[in-house]
Chains A and B, each alone.
Chain A
Amino acid sequence: MKVTMTVNGKSMSGEAEGRTLLSSFLREELGLTGTHVGCDTSQCGACTVHVDGRQVKACTMFAAEAEGTDVTTIEGMANADGSLNTIQQAFQDYHGLQCGFCTPGMVMAASSLLEQNPKPSETEIREHLHGNICRCTGYHNIVKAIMAASGQDVPAVAAE
């Protein structure tokens, strides 16, 4: 079947079977390979995107369920001029990523958190990230990056 949705502000269509997951559709049909797949039990959160403004693991939806929705992926997160947005920039400034594989999901989850809770505490950040696994950073610098992105005072990690 043909499935159409708005992705990062553009109307996009592609072919999907009934069983095609939104995560596969984004990667294979639309070529948006920034959305990663790190597990097959909806546990790791690497495929986190926004659907109609809500944080969703793209592997928990069929592509067909996303028909007519407004989807944002990591490819749609940078500023209009291509520069890193506040959250992305904080992840770089605070070394909140290493191998980069979980990173798209982390950025999407962080963005969703800050929309709901503009000044989260460390505990609130850690709890919000419960569905996103990172194997590289120990979350230490991800938590710092999100606190910094929310405008809270966090001592610098990277040099200027």
Chain B
Amino acid sequence: MPKDGIGASTKRREDVRFLTGTGRYTDDINLGKQLYVHFLRADVAHARINGIDTSAAEGMPGVVRIFTAKDFEGVGGLPCGWQVTDKHGQPMQEPKHPIIAEGKIRHVGEIVAAVVAETLDQARDAAEAIMPDLEELPAVVDMKEAVREGATKVHDDLTSNLCYDWGFVEENKAAVDEAFEKAAHVTTLELVNNRLVANPMEPRVAVGDYAAHSDESTLYTTSQNPHVIRLLMGAFVLGIPEHKLRVVAPDVGGGFGTKIFHYAEEAFCTFAAKQLRRPVKWTSTRSEAFISDAHGRDHVSKIQIALDADNNFTALRTDTYANMGAYLSTFAPSVPTWLHGVLMAGNYRTPLIYVNVKAVFTNTVPVDAYRGAGRPEATYQLERCIDKCARELGVDPAELRRQNFITPDQFPYATPVAVEYDTGNYHATLDKALELADVAGFEARAEESKRTGKLRGLGIANYIEACGIAPSNLVGQLGARAGLYESATVRVNATGGVVVMTGSHSHGQGHETTFPQVIADMIGIDASQVEIVHGDTANTPMGMGTYGSRSLAVGGSAMFRAAEKVINKAKKIAAHLMEASEGDIELKDGQFTVAGTDKSVAWGDVTLAAYVPHNYPLDQIEPGLEETAFYDPANFTYPSGTYICEVEVDEGTGQVEVLSFTAADDFGNVVNPMIVEGQVHGGVAQGIGQALLENCAYDADGQLLSATYMDYAMPRAADLPMITVDHSCQTPCTHNPLGVKGCGEAGAIGAPPALVNAVLDALNRNGHAVDHIDMPLSPARVWSAMNA
């Protein structure tokens, strides 16, 4: 077998360019005769636009053209890719999402006008001379206020600020309520899942270009899914047929969800480049990113668990308000519903579940998927509530969980919220985490902390997530306006090297290293013989891109299927060359052999024959060795795990220090352990960031208070501990050919409840009876809770 096949911690080949400054990110692209755009953005949250005076700005040096909403008459709004149906069977309210604000401003950061100039500084200078005539309106920021009778409406043409009122499963509601009436114990918890900003380190960039000779538009953009952008922008916004539109997402500096969506700036640059017949470039500043990148989370929830007298969970119900912001971002409606409600069973056998979600428009930046997307919100509610429940009952929180786990012999397991978990072993990850975190030694460590005046606590959380998004026919029924397959073309060159063109997109995940490991394993050649092409609609098959921890499970499976087709054809050629029966041909270590004989022919000889078909069965098969596969998954994948966090709290200041963090995950099979562990580190860091530091805060007027890194607390090196990661508990996915589940989001899902549970444990075991503290657990919040 090749040394760099499946299971090897192969060094990443992409690192060399990133470490030498030769990566090619979108902002590194500069085209001849390029113009620059600066967007004048709203500095108030809600206002009527009575007029925009651009006359002074138009005459300023270098200004080429100033665009306002009237230039986009006849151009479509940004489409929403998922239509949720409410509990009465009615479609959600879906307002137009214009490229440039039309008549009204609905959030701070919305584009009011765009200045295109010869240099960026000239564009910025001119934007300062634009005078919008605004009539400021009261802003709607708080979700519960927004849905009150008579509240100011974000969209005048909608009936209210309620996007939808979703019940799941509506038919279960009466039975759930009945179970609560019969319960021996009910635990109730109200909590906030704080609004976050994804903050990939590379801000968004768009460069639009137009070639008059071929009538082709090209957009270079910081996207996780260039084909999705091509489809949405071409078909729904600008009316450009896909064969006249190319979207390129080169090296992308992190995504975390916020680079999935189709944004106004992409459409603007593409549109303006065609209008002006010159390339138009936009580079977001970080300050712009805070007020224009889709935000994440922002749920306000009430969760209740009912138990019988033996502490078995008998029912669960939740009420959630989910902030959509001012407009529906590309996948926003699906996040609090199909990515949240269907995960409310968690790792447990709870037989009856009802989830209600009210999605609400407010005068804030649109909210959409951020690392985990819905699943962190579900897990946080459940794992916090179970912890509270254990404290109320006086039982061990780990054992209460274990008692209610779905057991290994129950898979496949159909939950009461419409999904079927294919595999899992929650007992195994719990045991592994308890062992690695040395929970047995905790009491002694807690005593030691007491001696130094600190309060030590330990928190546990389990998680399950649905990855590998998703079976197209299922999500179609649920309102998705897209298919969620993935594609790959495997092209074998005459000399035996392989090029894989994938619809998946890497923006830090290391596909250029891991995907070749799979091919190397299948053929038995060195991974260095395999090249990955991604991120350009001109040279990859129509693919859906990378999000929801789907690349290897769905994109890797597409590649596997295409490689299978290639190998099957190569076997036919080998059979011809060796004058043997095709059924007797085996491929191992890059050699085709005839079973039971010493005949063999090398991979390279077969590939050469495919392209130089002198001795070739031309009457039976075509020359060439290139195949494409589209893989549509049969189910989601269900990674799961147990996370344990240990903290110390300073009683005098409320400062929380994370002492250790242990993650025991079941990702199924693992292709590159080094990369998988890195994904968990990063996810856990973002989860700790949410729990301890990060908060996207608006004031009552809709002004964003945390709009720079001076105000939004990103986790820094000294805020985080070393993270213990284990992925030895493996129950391979049963329905994809690689048996993989996905690992990208787990950390961000499991870490927040583990950390918050640890802090509450520290407080409660040291005489501070505190039920809950909302994230982020800043010193002020923790101190106030202890001293209430």
Contact = CB atoms under 8 A, between A and B. Distances in A.
A34 B510 CA distance: 19
Interface stretch (B495-503, B543-551, B713-721): B713-721
A151 B675 CA distance: 23
Contacts of B285: 39-40
Contacts of B716: 129-130, 133, 139
Contacts of B718: 123, 126-127, 129-130
Contacts of A35: 21
Interface in A62-92: 73-75, 77-78, 84, 88, 91-92
Interface residues of A, number: 59
B670 interface: no
Contacts of A159: 3-4, 8-11, 674
Contact of A157 (B9, B254, B722): B9
A14 interface: no
Interface centre among A28, A138, A159 (most CB of B within 10 A): A138
Dominant SS at the A interface?
loop
Contacts of A91: 15, 19
Contacts of A136: 201, 254, 508, 678, 682
Contacts of A10: none
B87 interface: no
Interface centre among B8, B15, B677, B714 (most CB of A within 10 A): B15
A157 B682 CA distance: 16
Nearest to A39: B286
A138 B723 contact: yes
A92 B16 contact: yes
A125 B287 CA distance: 28
Contacts of B674: 95, 157-159
A99 B708 contact: no
Contact of A38 (B22, B202, B678): B202
Interface centre among B3, B199, B253, B677 (most CB of A within 10 A): B253
Contacts of B24: 33
A103 B28 CA distance: 15
Given A138-B686, A138-B747, 18 more contacts: A34-B21, A36-B202, A46-B201, A75-B22, A77-B21, A92-B12, A98-B508, A99-B201, A100-B251, A101-B200, A122-B722, A123-B718, A130-B717, A133-B201, A135-B682, A140-B685, A157-B9, A159-B9
Interface of A: 17, 19, 27-28, 32-41, 43-44, 46, 73-75, 77-78, 84, 88, 91-93, 95, 97-104, 107, 122-123, 125-127, 129-130, 132-143, 157-159
27 contacts: A38-B286, A41-B708, A43-B710, A74-B20, A88-B20, A91-B15, A91-B19, A97-B15, A97-B18, A97-B19, A99-B507, A100-B253, A101-B201, A103-B19, A107-B19, A126-B717, A129-B718, A130-B717, A133-B201, A135-B199, A135-B201, A135-B256, A135-B686, A136-B201, A136-B508, A140-B685, A159-B9
| Nearest 3 interchain pairs by C-beta | A34-B21, A100-B18, A101-B253
